[in-house]
Amino acid sequence: MSGRRFAAFLVFLAILAIFNGFALWSIYLLYADGNFGLMVTMVILTLLIDLIALNPKGYPYRYMIPAMVLLFILTLYPMYYTFRTAFTNYGTGHLFTRQQSIQKLLSDYFYIPEKPQEYEFSIYIQLKDYNPTDNFITLLQSKESGELFAAPRPQAINRDATGNITLATAKMLEIKGDTFSIGGVNYSLSRSPTGSVLAIRSDTGERFVYFYSPQDQSTRPNASFYFSEIRGVWLRNAEFTDSEGNQVRLFPNSLYTTFATTERKYALRAETVFSAGRAIQETVVYNRQTGRKLVEEGGFFYDVDENGNDITVEGYISDVGFWNFVRMFRDPKISKPFFQVFGWTFTWAGLSVFFSFTIGLALAMTLNDRRLKGKKIYRTLMIIPWAVPAFISALVWRNGFFNETYGVLNRFIVQGLFGLEPIKWLNDAFWAKVSVLIVNTWLGFPYMMTVSLGALQSIPEEFYEASSIDGATRLQRFKKITFPLLMVTVAPLLVGSFAFNFNNFTGIYLVTQGGPAIVGASTPAGATDILISYTFKLAFEGRGQDFGFASAISIIIFIIVAGFSWINFKLSGSFEEVSR
């Protein structure tokens, strides 16, 4: 191996190593995230790429890999994800897994028990070289009785993935005669002449000095250390236990300036459930205050209040099987307008293709005529509708042309030229359909013109010469030569265009938003709603977002479009026979 090639190989290895580094990092992140499906896929992909890169036989595949990776990331994974989501209730109210919801129930919900005790507190801190350390003792004074309690620095029980303490506990110790003991070590309070506690001394010689109390303005200079190092680390999730076993925490209702008895509202307990005649042990969440177990239904945890009303507490993502698909047939808001919407979707896609193709082809043939001068100018002008962003054109059409009173069409043509009654372009079911078709044709014809132009130029001139010798008319020539030969190239594009318009959400939404409303309709389907825009309305403009349902409908739409395109390709294959 020459030196140069060896250097190149080293560079190659370095690049591969960097890639593998990133891959491992992302695999680790996915692992930490609990996303095992994607993790396994990433592992397989990484191994595959390494194999191909290092194996000389895999050489040709090196050029395929980027495409394959992009195909996976941009197409296959979203498809898989959509498919999986379609069988869940993922959406508003159901964003977390059941596990996460239970976690939240156990850690985030508190109640205030009968006879709560509220304590004012102060922090005593050990100094080292005159700097505060994070070794501290909390002195709590009952607001009601004035009794004093001491709590040592709580011990971390749980930490989250990033190392923050999520639970720390300590016992509250009664102070009798200004002394108390922690784990055999005795502590005594040193008081000032006015009686306030200045410091705490242990018999081992440790000394804790008065550092901070939210009630004492004079300790404010120490607040920032307290907030960031003491509360921020230790007290934020601290749980002190008093002599009766009650839990004492920083009290939200005083904005964390006192401690108070608060209890966790929910806890787990094992319960025997009879199912199909067999006794099964099951872990259930129950309300510690009322003793009632939470009802789980439809992906929600419900609690029952004193009046017997259900209160939604937490929702989670649950598998609903084929429910989202069944809904499409059972739910009147979908089944009722389905055929109307479905029919219009076909009409819309079909007519959009028909009009833009006919106009595009006519213009292409004109531009292809040798007698026409200034072709370039015309061609450039004709491309403009294609070049202008669709949403701008759509808005210009909507506000500038179709407006009932001020629109160009009504003002100058319908009323001005013909003196007719103004047409309700966007507010009448029929005319709204005409309007969206006009706009879509306007947006679509330049594309059709461009592809037709290319196709026309590829038809050999000899065919026309031969036909003119045979005495064919222009119409005959178009029918027998131009059109069939054109179709060979253009037919697949027409199919593609049909599939595109079938799902052309923007084409509808920017002009009419699916409107106008249908008189007397009890569903939100409007006169120009196509499947995809109606789906959008149902999934995102009803009650929050319903991703599960939206996914189910997109799968159905995918099947329809795929099926239709397949038939179309079959049909367009028959044109190919003509050309042979």
Partner 1 sequence: MKKLTAVLIILLVAMSFASAKLVIWSSENQIPALEKLAADFESDYGIQVEIQQVNFGDIKSKFLTAAPAGEGPDIIVGAHDWVGELAINGLIEPIPFLPDREQYYEVALDAFNYGGKLYGVPYTIEAIAIIYNKDLVFDVPKTLTELEQLALEASDDEVVGFIYTAGDFYHSAPFILGRGGYIFKETSAGQDVKDIGLSNQGAVAGGNLIKSWFDKGLIPGGPNYNLMDSLFKDGLAAFIVNGIWATPSYRDAGIDYAIIPFSEIAFDDGTTPRPFVGVQGFMINAKSSNKLEATEFVVNYIGSYEGQYGMFLGERRGTARADVFAFIEAGAGPELYDVLQFSKSASVGTPMPNVPEMASVWGAMGDALGLIINGQDTVENALSAAVEKIKTTIGN
The yes or no reply on residue 374 touching partner 1 (CB under 8 A) is no
SS (H, E, C) 13-58: HHHHHHHHHHHHHHHHHHHHHCCHHHHHHHHHHHHHHHHHHHCHHH
- CA–CA distance, 47 with 59 (Å, rounded to integer): 15
**Residue where the block lists tokens 């156990």:** 106
The yes or no reply on residue 96 touching partner 1 (CB under 8 A) is yes
Binding characters for partner 1, 533-572, by CB under 8 A (x = yes): ----xx-xxxxxx---------------------------
User: Min. distance of Cβ 269 from partner 1 in angstroms?
Assistant: 23
Within 10 angstroms of residue 422's Cβ, the number of other Cβ atoms is 14
Indicate which single residue of 236, 411, 433, 477 sits in contact with partner 1 (rule: CB under 8 A).
236
The yes or no reply on residue 339 touching partner 1 (CB under 8 A) is no
> Nearest Cα to 503, choosing from 531, 538, 539?
531
The yes or no reply on residue 116 touching partner 1 (CB under 8 A) is no
The yes or no reply on residue 265 touching partner 1 (CB under 8 A) is no
Which window, 48-56, 356-364, 403-411, 499-507, contacts partner 1 (CB under 8 A)?
403-411
Which window, 11-19, 189-197, 362-370, 511-519, contacts partner 1 (CB under 8 A)?
511-519
The yes or no reply on residue 335 touching partner 1 (CB under 8 A) is no
Find out whether 517 and 326 touch, Cβ atoms under 8 Å: no
Indicate which single residue of 6, 22, 28, 59 sits in contact with partner 1 (rule: CB under 8 A).
28
User: Min. distance of Cβ 523 from partner 1 in angstroms?
Assistant: 6
Encoding tokens for residue 124?
């005593």
The yes or no reply on residue 340 touching partner 1 (CB under 8 A) is no
User: Min. distance of Cβ 425 from partner 1 in angstroms?
Assistant: 8
> Would you say 102 or 455 has its CB closer to partner 1?
102
- CA–CA distance, 464 with 446 (Å, rounded to integer): 26
> Would you say 233 or 365 has its CB closer to partner 1?
233
User: Min. distance of Cβ 293 from partner 1 in angstroms?
Assistant: 20
Encoding tokens for residue 217?
């303005």
The yes or no reply on residue 163 touching partner 1 (CB under 8 A) is yes
User: Min. distance of Cβ 81 from partner 1 in angstroms?
Assistant: 14
DSSP 325-344: HHHHHH-HHHHHHHHHHHHH
The yes or no reply on residue 92 touching partner 1 (CB under 8 A) is yes
DSSP 354-393: HHHHHHHHHHHHHHH-TT-S-HHHHHHHHHHHHHS-HHHH
DSSP 440-475: HHHHHHHHHHHHHHHHHHTS-HHHHHHHHHTT--HH
Question: What is the SS3 assignment for 87?
Answer: coil
Q: How far is CA 285 from each of CA 59, 246, 304, 315, 320, rounded to the nearest angstrom?
A: 57, 20, 13, 13, 21
The yes or no reply on residue 160 touching partner 1 (CB under 8 A) is yes
Exposed, middle or buried by CB within 10 Å (0-12, 13-18, 19+), for 11? Answer: exposed
User: Min. distance of Cβ 537 from partner 1 in angstroms?
Assistant: 7
Which window, 201-209, 354-362, 368-376, 515-523, contacts partner 1 (CB under 8 A)?
515-523
> Would you say 433 or 480 has its CB closer to partner 1?
433
> Would you say 186 or 335 has its CB closer to partner 1?
335
The residues that touch partner 1, with contacts defined as CB under 8 A, are 28, 92-93, 95-96, 101, 104, 108, 160-164, 220, 223-225, 227-228, 231-232, 236, 250, 252-256, 309, 311-312, 314-315, 331-333, 399, 403-407, 422, 424, 426-428, 515-517, 519-524, 526, 537-538, 540-545
